[in-house]
């Protein structure tokens, strides 16, 4: 799947940042577990510029500089582009025998429902738990402590 340069740079799996390294390690661990469905879900979340920004925000990781970047697609356009690409990837993985028909159906439903942008999926929560800097807590937990 080809993506825009700025989207590639925003993805959690790109670069030498701590969260990038952690995400790549999580993907490697998931590969070793043999769970292709979870691997694809994690990869879709991490590769998506919208969910990557959400995760960084939720983990209180400072925003990357966007100076000089040109946003050529709206958020809806970006979502449509990625959704199309994700469906193509799922189909290719099925053709190669990496995922079976039931997983294909679940993954295509997951993509159709934009679950890769949903903060309440187990995969999103797992990624967030891994990238959150040690010693920090979620914003909601911090608010509960203050009240």
Per-residue confidence (pLDDT) for residue 89, from 0 to 100: 94
Per-residue confidence (pLDDT) for residue 94, from 0 to 100: 96
Q: Which residues of the chain have pLDDT under 70?
A: 1-13, 63-72, 135-147
Whole-number Cα distances in Å, 132 to 56, 90, 143: 8, 29, 17
At residue 114's C-alpha, the angle toward residues 108 and 41, to 5°, is 60
CA distance 100 to 118: 24
Per-residue confidence (pLDDT) for residue 144, from 0 to 100: 37
The reported pTM is: 0.81
CA distance 144 to 147: 5
Query: Residues with Cβ < 8 Å from 44, sequence gap 6 or more?
Result: 51, 82, 86, 111, 116
Per-residue confidence (pLDDT) for residue 128, from 0 to 100: 95
Per-residue confidence (pLDDT) for residue 98, from 0 to 100: 92
Per-residue confidence (pLDDT) for residue 65, from 0 to 100: 55
pLDDT in tens, 55-98: 988 988 876 655 455 566 787 878 888 899 999 999 999 999 99
Query: Residues with Cβ < 8 Å from 101, sequence gap 6 or more?
Result: 94
CA distance 7 to 80: 14
Per-residue confidence (pLDDT) for residue 5, from 0 to 100: 45
Per-residue confidence (pLDDT) for residue 139, from 0 to 100: 43
Per-residue confidence (pLDDT) for residue 137, from 0 to 100: 53
Q: How remote is the C-alpha of 121 from its chain's centroid? A: 11
Per-residue confidence (pLDDT) for residue 146, from 0 to 100: 38
């Amino acid at each position: 799947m080809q993506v825009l340069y700025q989207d590639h740079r925003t993805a959690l799996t790109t670069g030498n940042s701590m969260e990038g390294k952690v995400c790549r390690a999580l993907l490697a661990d998931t590969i070793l577990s043999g769970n292709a469905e979870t691997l694809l879900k994690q990869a879709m979340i991490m590769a998506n510029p919208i969910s990557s920004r959400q995760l960084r925000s939720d983990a209180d990781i400072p925003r990357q500089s966007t100076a000089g970047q040109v946003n050529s697609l709206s958020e809806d356009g970006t979502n449509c582009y990625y959704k199309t690409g994700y469906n193509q990837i799922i189909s290719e993985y099925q053709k190669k025998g990496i995922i079976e028909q039931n997983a294909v159906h679940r993954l295509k439903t997951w993509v159709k429902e934009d679950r890769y942008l949903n903060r309440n999926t187990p995969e999103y929560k797992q990624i967030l738990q891994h990238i959150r800097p040690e010693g920090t807590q979620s914003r909601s937990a911090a608010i509960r402590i203050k009240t």
